[in-house]
Every structure is written in C-alpha cells, then in structure tokens.
Amino acid sequence: MTAGSGGGGDEAKIDAGDVDAGDDGTAAILSVGAAAIDEWYAVSNLPEPDGGAFASEVTSAFGGVGANVAVALDRLGRDAGLVSRVGDDEYGRRALAYLDKTGVDGTHVAVGDDPNIRSLILRDPDGERAIVTAGESYRGLRLDDDALAAMAEADAVFLTAYTPDRASRRVLDRVESLREETTDSGDTPPALVFDLSGAVEELVGRGTEPSTVFRFLHRADLFVADGVAAPAFFGSAADAVERIAAAQTAAADAGSESGAEPRSRRGPTWPRAVLTHGADGMTAIAGGEVSRLDAFDVETVDATGAGDAFTAGLIDRWIAGESPSTPWTDRAGRDAVASGVRFAAAVAAINCTSRFTQPGLPSRDEVEAFLAERGFGPNGSR
C-alpha cells in the first residue's frame, strides 16, 4: 500500500443492496460533528513553555472529527451525511466547497455568523503533535426539526464529544424516544455511536458535559475513546475498561429482565466499546468481555485523524453492516468483534501512510487489499 493511495477521485461503491438510505433519501449514517480547516506547521520542534520553534512548511487541509468520519464512510462506499454548522467566512466557505466535492450529504450543514472552527497543528520531525483549536461556528450548533427527522430515518447516528452539550442531549433524547416508540410498534430505531474524542478539560464549556457522556456510556451501541480521552475521563486506562465493562453488563442484565432485545435497523445490537492506544493496539469490550488486539505495523507519515478513520471502520463493520445473529458470548460473536476491530485498524493504518487526514482515507478495495496482504479476509476475519 503506497502513501497517499487512498486519496480523492472516484471511489468504488459497495453493492447498493448492502446499504440503503432512508425512504425519503436520508443518509443511512448521519455524522454530527465539525467541518474544520486544519492549518499545518511543520516545525523544528514542539516548543516548551516560553520556547520557540521554526516552521519549514505551512499548509492547510480539511478536518474536523464529524467531517472526517463522514468522508471516511463515504470513501468506504457508505451513504453518509453530515450535521454541522460552519462560519460565513473564508474558512467556512472552503469547508463547504470541499464537502460539495465528496459524496457526503451536506443538507444539514448550517451557516452561521461565527468564525469557522479551525485547528493549528504543530508537527515535529518525529511526528509528535500539538493541536490548538479556535472558532465558534460549531459551538453554536442548533439541531432543527429537519435534522432530528433525518435522524429518525437514518440507520445510525454518530456523535463526537466536541458537540456542544445541548445538541448532544437533544440527539440522545431523540434516539431514546425513538427506542421507546418502537418497543411496541416492532419498528427499529437508529443505532447510536459516541466518540469521547477529547480530554475533559478540553471539552469544558464547548463540548459534551460529563453527565451527558455517562448517559451515552449506558445508551450508545458503540462507545469509542482514545488513549488520552479515556484515562482523562475515567481516571486511568484500567478504570476506563472496568467502568465500561460494568456499564455493559448492567445494560445486558436490564435487557434480560425486560425481555427486550436491543435492535437497530441492521439487526441485533451488542453493547460494544473500543479504547484505542495508537501503535500499542486497541482494547475491545463487548458485553463486558475484554480483549486486546494489535495495531498494524506501517511506516507512519502522519497519524492525525487516524482515530477518526478507525471509528469509521468500526461503524462500517459493526453498525452499518449486517449484525451477526449470534451473541457475543458465542465463538462467532467473539470472532465478529475481532474482525471488526481489524478492519477498522486497517482503515486507520492506511490513513497513517499519507499526510493529513482526509486525502489518505482509503476505499473499500484498498482496505481489503491491505488485509489480504496480511493474511486476513476482506472483513478482517482470519
């Protein structure tokens, strides 16, 4: 797999029978998150307090967790849409123009008067980074009735913790109400995916509040956190695993007592979570059972956005694809957990071989070729 091979151009789409949009044309997967501009500085070193550095190159690229996940799913052939808010300025117009060139549905991207969100990224020769984010556009996100209606028709809704708390709560309330409505009707609600994508101190005042995060922990079909966010929120990596496993076990017990099997439009759902540790691999937690899996070894050019690529891979395998009919306690269920993580790890690994986030997001053919080269099946199976 060569660096940059997942870049733009016409991407192969998966069979249309595998993914359907809502009956009214709603995107099958709605990503709620920012569409940002990343300003890159290739610096001689990451400066210490009161220190300095020299930038040998300055450039810009497109980013934002919500946009990254939506574009990654689009590259994999999924029908993805973005719910966001951009600024009525140069950065916002650039973000909209770029989004328009992708296959991502931007129907629910609003435009506001605030400056568009953008990130200053300092990257040293060893690939270490420091990121500073500014801009109020996404912080002003308001979910209108059209966006909420689209969520009701979608197969899945993805949400990042950078989403302002009032919007996060409204999404959660909407999905919970849909679950209650469909209990008796026999219909199925959208699956819910939550990414704890920032440390607590970074989210205060602009992202999802801790009390809401805990609600997502107990309600989400898939909960994802990286090696910085999980310890910061739960106290340590070990505490994160313990708390998440306990929440899943409690949810499974509650479902057994009620006799209601959790379902989404793609079939039965399991309580699942993944904690990522960069090159050190991933910890998967399914139904309270913990397993550790290795990351793929590649020559990393740029790891920025690898976590977003990984999350998109999990959504593709575990949420957008057909759920296995066997429970996680069966061999087939455990294999499905492992293969899904491998597929997502392959998406992230390929993304690391290119500069910036979105240009290196791979197509499905590229992911399958990457896995085949390493002795795995197209979905990450052994």
Q: How many CB atoms neighbour CB 120 within 10 A?
A: 13
pTM of the model: 0.88
* CB-based contacts of 113, cutoff 8 Å, min separation 6: 87, 88
Dihedral pair phi/psi, residue 371, rounded to 5°: -65, -40
Give the tokens for residue 103. 């296959």
Nearest to 80 by CA among 56, 99, 61: 99
Residues, the chain: 382
The predicted structure's pLDDT at residue 106: 95
pLDDT truncated to tens, each residue of the chain (382 aa)?
A: 233 333 333 333 233 334 444 445 667 999 999 999 999 999 999 999 999 999 999 999 999 999 999 999 999 999 999 999 999 999 999 999 999 999 999 999 999 999 999 999 998 988 788 889 899 999 999 999 999 999 999 999 999 999 999 999 999 999 999 888 876 666 788 999 999 988 888 888 889 999 999 999 999 999 999 988 999 999 999 999 999 999 888 876 665 554 455 554 555 556 789 999 988 999 999 888 899 999 999 998 888 889 999 999 999 998 887 655 555 556 667 788 899 999 999 999 999 998 888 989 999 999 999 999 999 999 999 8
| Confidence (pLDDT) at 258 | 46
Domain positions in the chain: 16-33+65-94+104-109+142-373
pLDDT of residue 324: 52
Whole-number Å distance between alpha carbons of 58 and 41:
5
Which amino acid is present at 53?
A
Angle at 315 between CA 370 and CA 218, to 5 degrees: 140
Number of C-alpha atoms within 13 angstroms, CB side, residue 336? Answer: 22
Alpha-carbon span 135 to 36, nearest angstrom: 9
Q: What is the C-alpha separation between 161 and 159, in angstroms, rounded? A: 7
> Is 100 exposed, middle or buried (CB count within 10 Å of its CB: 0-12, 13-18, 19+)?
exposed
Question: What dotted CATH number matches 16-33+65-94+104-109+142-373?
Answer: 3.40.1190.20
Cα distance between residue 42 and residue 58, in whole Å: 6
